[in-house]
Homo-oligomer: A and B are copies of this chain.
Amino acid sequence: MPELRQEPITGNWVIIATERNKRPSDFQARHEERKGGVCPFCKGNEKLTPPEITAYREAGTHPDEPGWWIRVVPNKFAALDNKSTDSEISRNFYTSMNGNGAHEVIIESPEHDQSIEQHDPVQMQEIFRAWRDRLRALMARTPIRYVQIFKNAGAIAGASLEHPHSQVIAAPLIPTVIENELEGARAFFVDRGLCPYCEMIAHEEAAGDRLIAGNQQFIAFCPYASRFPFEITILPRRHQADFSGLDDSMLQDLSAIVKVTMQKLTASLSRPPYNLMLHTAPAGFTGAPYYHWRLEILPRLTIVAGFEWGTGIYINPTPPETAAKYLRETAI
C-alpha cells in the first residue's frame, strides 16, 4: 500500500510507492517514452487497460469497447489507491498516512497522434469537461482533500506513453504548494481586501508586456516571476476559486485560449516537452475570496540542478517579457 510520509521540518509530503519498490537495476533505461508496439490507450485496445471508470461515448456503445471520444481508466501503476479505508496520521517524530486516494488516466482522444493543440475545439472542451467532472466526483469522496489534474507531454516531461492523456491524483491532504499559495493569498486579502490573482490580472493587462493571448473570459501570460523559460499562466478573468464551477460558456473560452496558447508554444519551440497543471481550491476553500484557480504550463527546456534544489530559487535564462513577445508574435 502506498504510504504518505511527512518531512518533519518543512512539512513537505512524499509518496513512498511501496508497490513499485524499485531496485538499483530498475533505473537503467528510464528516459524512454514507449513508442511502437501496442498502445493500450488506442481505440480497439480497451481491454488492455483496467475497466473504465467512465467515458463519453456514442449512444448504444458499451463500456470497454470502441465508441468513446474521452475515456477515464484507473492508472495501472497507481501512486495512491483506495485499498485501505484507514488514512489516520500517526504522530511521533515522523508522521505518515496511508496513501488513500485515487489515480486515474483521462485518455484525451481515441487517436494516437493527436497532440493537445491539434484537437478540434469541441474535443478540447470535452477534455476539460472530463477534468471538471472527475474533480467533482473525487472531491465528493471521503477522505479526499485535494485533486491534482495534470498532463505530462514528452519523455523528458515524464510521459511514459505517447498517446495523449492527462492524469488525476486525488490525495487525502492539502499539498504544501497549495497550502503556501492559500496562505500567501490569504495574507494579501487580509492586508488589502482583494484577491491577489484578480489583482494580478489587472496588473498584467495594464503592463501588457507579458501577455500572450486573451478572450472574453480568460487571459494567458508569462508570469512575472517565471521559474522556467516560456512558463505560462492561464487565469479566468472572473473570480473563481474552484475549477468545479466551470460552466459551459467558460468551457468554450478555456478551450479556445488553451488551443491558441499551445499552438504558439508548439510553433515557437518545435513541440517542446511540457507539464500542464491545474491549481484549484482544496476541500473547505472552494468559496475562498482570495484563491483563484489557474492553469500552469511549464515547458521543460532547462535542467533543475543543485542551486534550485538547495534554495528553491530557479535561474531563468529567458525573461518572461522576452518569452511573451515571441509567443505573441508567433503566427499560428
Contact = CB atoms under 8 A, between A and B. Distances in A.
Nearest to A298: B309
Given A196-B8, A225-B7, A326-B23, A310 B148 contact: yes
A67 interface: no
A268 interface: yes
A277 to B, nearest CB: 4
Contact of A178 (B184, B269, B311, B315): B311
B225 A319 contact: no
B309 A296 contact: yes
Interface in A168-223: 169, 171, 175-178, 180-181, 184-185, 188, 196-197, 199-200, 203, 223
Contact of A22 (B11, B224, B303, B318): B318
Most buried by B among A27, A93, A225: A225
Interface in A1-15: 4-15
Interface in A283-332: 296, 298, 301-307, 309-320, 322, 326
Interface residues of A, number: 91
Nearest to A158: B305
Nearest to A18: B319
Nearest to A180: B10
Nearest to A179: B312
A30 interface: yes
A167 interface: yes
Most buried by B among A23, A298, A305: A305
Contact of A316 (B17, B272, B277): B17
Contacts of A178: 311
A227 interface: yes
Contact of A10 (B181, B301, B309): B181
Nearest to A184: B9
A275 B309 CA distance: 8
A312 B177 contact: yes
Given A8-B184, A93-B199, A178-B311, A275 B306 contact: yes
B313 A14 contact: yes
A48 B7 CA distance: 44
A163 interface: no
Nearest to A30: B301
A61 interface: no
15 contacts: A5-B224, A9-B196, A9-B197, A15-B313, A15-B314, A15-B315, A27-B301, A30-B301, A93-B199, A150-B306, A150-B309, A151-B306, A167-B306, A176-B311, A277-B309
Interface of A: 4-18, 20-24, 26-27, 30-31, 79, 93-94, 146, 148, 150-152, 156-159, 167, 169, 171, 175-178, 180-181, 184-185, 188, 196-197, 199-200, 203, 223-227, 229-230, 268-269, 272, 275-279, 296, 298, 301-307, 309-320, 322, 326
10 A-B pairs with the lowest CB-CB distances in the bound complex, closest first:
A158-B305, A150-B306, A175-B311, A20-B317, A277-B310, A177-B312, A9-B184, A7-B225, A275-B306, A22-B317
